[in-house]
């Protein structure tokens, strides 16, 4: 068997895209190191509560070997026993021989597997939240910078009334703020499975403490606290309820929808040549068409976001088919779906930050498109101006209608430029407002309260939401992509 890593399949999530910190969070070192910490916490708490047979030397040996995992020993034992937890109990016992007889005392496999998962999931969400607030901060700055830059709005991807580049960005930021709320809530709602025994009754621990219910409750609370949680789930079967996985994954799936929407908008705007994602000096857009500047980062976001959005289906199905106190058909699925969701969300966030921090705006292109469409949008202003000068609203409407259709025919049938303004200037009927046309066509008069809305939104909603994460944002580094 070849030891060349390129001779076997590697997940692109870790080999190609994911950040080192998120990849490390789901590594074997993190998982099995967390198992050992949980075994140490359990033994230390049992000793503290007076359980005999646990020596100081045993605890010292356990503590000294929390991260010195002999995978060869563990793998050989698992191959023989077909049980990963007992394989690592055996490996830990060899590393800490004085503790070999008390490791995992009173516990079931889910004491380490489930509690470790909850720790790893919480740490993963912390990483994601830290990245999300940096994206929100960067995109909010973009919105403020372009708060008053008029741009053509689109509904149904057809030209509509004007907005501003910054106001459009606030639509993206608002959805990201909801994602931040959802992720923080999911993170804070994570509890600890605790010390519950094989079917959740704590019978083994009650036996260890000779029927002392209070000691068992103290043990549960103490191990929970030692493991970094303020509370544990009050009841469970052998596992914590897999509905918790649904609550954890739902915000990630929802964020996937947000990211897909933002990246799609950027791709559409790139096609219009109004906004582009960063394009590096030596980057190649197409192997055949050398002139191309493909929005590959935004396309990657969309591609991965679709994967992120569907993974919640796995945990929904798993939660729905858990029988009674538990079944093992959750295990293999969860090993894939939940880490992949966190890794994918991490990649999407890094890529999104990279895009947002490097967005390029082309005001002249935006201005040109406004000039081509604004005459039609300004017709209502022409009518109101004529009425103020004594004109008849209905007659004016008819005059504008005829001229508009003539100009539209030039654009659509002849491929010419929109000449509505020239037609209005040349029309004797509109002589009373001829000198006012330039002001009536000023794009800044068509954007309503868009700049003020940006200011208010950032001050009243973005700033308070980001305040708890100020230290993270201040220490953030530019998001760099390896590919």
Report CA dihedral (331, 24, 69, 193) to the nearest 10 degrees.
-40
Radius of gyration of the CA atoms of the chain, in A: 31
Q: Which of 109, 256, 234, 104 is nearest to 179 (CA)?
A: 256
Tally of CA atoms within 13 A in the half-sphere of 436 that contains its CB? 15
Active-site entry in 2, 156, 287, 482: 156
Is the separation of the CB atoms in 384 and 442 below 8 Å?
no
Q: Please provide the average confidence, as pLDDT, over all residues in the chain.
A: 93
Q: Which of 15, 286, 303, 456 is catalytic?
A: 286
- Measured CA to CA, the distance from residue 271 to residue 218 in angstroms comes to 63
**pLDDT tens-place string over residues 262-276:** 999 999 999 999 999
Total-model pTM = 0.90
Q: How confident is the model at residue 280 (pLDDT cuts 50, 70, 90)?
A: low
Q: Which residue has the tokens 């960067």?
A: 138
How far apart (Å, rounded) are the C-alpha atoms in residues 139 and 136?
5
- Is 2 assigned a catalytic role? no
CA distance 13 to 22: 10
349: DSSP letter: H
Tell whether the torsion through CA atoms of 261, 130, 344 and 481 is positive or negative. positive
* Run of H or E including 275: strand 275-276
pLDDT in tens, 102-160: 999 999 999 999 999 999 999 999 999 999 999 999 999 999 999 999 999 999 999 88
Report the alpha-carbon distance of residue 28 to residue 150 in Å, rounded.
52
User: pLDDT higher for 435 or 269?
Assistant: 269
First to last CA, the chain: 30
Q: Of 5-9, 103-107, 285-289, which gets the smallest average pLDDT?
A: 285-289
Active-site annotation holds for 156:
yes
DSSP 352-421: HHHHHHT-EE-HHHHHHHHHHHHHHHTHHHHHHHHHHTT--HHHHHHHHHHHHHHHHHHHHHS-----HH
DSSP 41-97: HHHHHHHHTT-TT--HHHHHHHHHTSS---HHHHHHHHHHHS-HHHHHHHHHHHHSG
Predicted pLDDT at 1: 61
289 pLDDT higher than 70: no
């Amino acid at each position: 068997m070849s030891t060349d890593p390129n001779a076997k399949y590697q997940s692109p999530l870790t080999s190609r895209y994911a950040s080192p910190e998120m990849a490390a969070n789901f590594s074997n070192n993190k998982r099995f190191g967390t198992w050992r910490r949980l075994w140490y916490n359990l033994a230390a708490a049992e000793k503290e509560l007076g359980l005999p047979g646990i020596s100081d030397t045993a605890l010292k040996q356990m503590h000294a070997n929390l991260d010195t995992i002999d995978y060869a020993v563990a793998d050989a034992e698992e191959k023989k026993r077909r049980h990963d937890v007992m394989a690592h109990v055996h490996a830990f016992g060899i590393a800490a021989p004085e503790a070999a007889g008390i490791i995992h005392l009173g516990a079931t496999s889910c004491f380490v597997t489930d509690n470790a998962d909850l720790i790893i999931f919480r740490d993963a969400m912390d990483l994601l939240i830290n990245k999300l607030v940096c994206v929100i901060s960067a995109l909010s700055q973009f919105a403020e910078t372009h708060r008053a830059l008029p741009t053509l709005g689109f509904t149904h991807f057809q030209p509509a009334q004007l907005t501003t580049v910054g106001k459009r960005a606030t639509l993206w930021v608002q959805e990201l703020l909801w994602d931040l709320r959802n992720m923080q809530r999911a993170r804070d709602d994570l509890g600890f499975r605790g010390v519950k025994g094989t079917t959740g009754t704590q019978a083994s621990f009650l036996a260890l403490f000779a029927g002392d219910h209070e000691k068992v409750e103290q043990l549960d609370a103490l191990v929970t606290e030692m493991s970094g949680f303020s509370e544990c789930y009050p009841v469970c079967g052998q596992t914590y309820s897999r509905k918790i996985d649904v609550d954890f994954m739902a915000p990630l799936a929802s964020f996937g929808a947000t990211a897909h929407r933002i990246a799609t908008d950027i791709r559409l705007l790139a096609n219009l040549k109004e906004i582009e994602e960063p394009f590096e000096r030596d980057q190649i857009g197409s192997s055949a068409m050398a002139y191309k500047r493909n929005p590959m980062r935004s396309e990657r976001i969309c591609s991965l976001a679709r994967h992120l959005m569907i993974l919640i289906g796995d945990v929904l199905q798993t939660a729905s088919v858990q029988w009674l106190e538990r079944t093992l058909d959750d295990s293999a699925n969860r090993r894939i779906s939940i880490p992949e969701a966190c890794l994918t969300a991490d990649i999407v966030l890094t890529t999104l930050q990279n895009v947002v921090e490097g967005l390029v705006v082309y005001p002249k292109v935006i201005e040109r498109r406004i000039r081509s469409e604004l005459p039609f949008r300004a017709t209502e202003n022409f009518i109101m101006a004529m009425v103020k000068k004594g004109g008849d609203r209905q007659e004016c409407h008819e005059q504008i209608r005829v001229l508009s259709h003539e100009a539209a025919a030039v654009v659509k049938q002849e491929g010419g430029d929109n000449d509505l303004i020239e037609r209005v200037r040349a029309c004797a009927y509109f002589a009373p407002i001829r000198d006012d046309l330039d002001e009536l066509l000023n794009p800044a008069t068509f954007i309503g309260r868009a700049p003020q809305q940006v200011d208010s939104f950032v001050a009243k909603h973005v700033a308070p939401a980001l305040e708890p994460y100020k230290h993270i944002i201040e220490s953030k580094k530019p998001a760099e992509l390896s590919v």
